[in-house]
Each structure stands twice: as structure tokens, then as C-alpha cells.
Amino acid sequence: MNEEAFGLSYRTLSDPERETMFEARQVAMQFAEIINDFNASREKELAVARLEEALMWTSKHIALHGI
């Protein structure tokens, strides 16, 4: 196993990387607010979970590979 897979090796993010991560989080929050207005359903729960997952993978990519 490599250390990157488990987040054991970190690096300092550049200002553009931090800005991109912040912007991605803002967009995700805006989309989540739209979804939260929907009636309760399994699909709604899955949509929010997948949005959170997409943000997690985006953040991991930036942390490991930059933008």
C-alpha cells in the first residue's frame, strides 16, 4: 500500500488550490440547498451522499495531484 491512499503523506496546498477547494465546497453547498428543498426520498438521500462523495474525491485529487 502507498501512504497517499490513506492520507499519511500531506503537503501544503498552494493558494490557488485552497481557493479551488473553497469554490468547489461553495458550489456543492448551493446544490445541496436545492436538493434539500425536495420531498423526503431515498433518491434525495443518495443525491446528497453522492454530492458529498464527489466533493471528497475532488479534495483528495487536489491534495495529491494539485489542480
Residue identified by cell 458550489 is 27
- Consecutive H or E run containing 3: none
CA 52 to chain centre: 6
pLDDT per residue over 16-66, tens digit each?
999 999 999 999 999 999 999 999 999 999 999 999 999 999 999 999 899
9-19: average pLDDT: 89
pLDDT of 30 reads 97
pLDDT surpassing 90 at residue 10? no
Torsion sign, CA atoms 26, 16, 61, 6: negative
The residues near 61 (Cβ < 8 Å, ≥ 6 apart) are none
* pTM of the shown model: 0.80
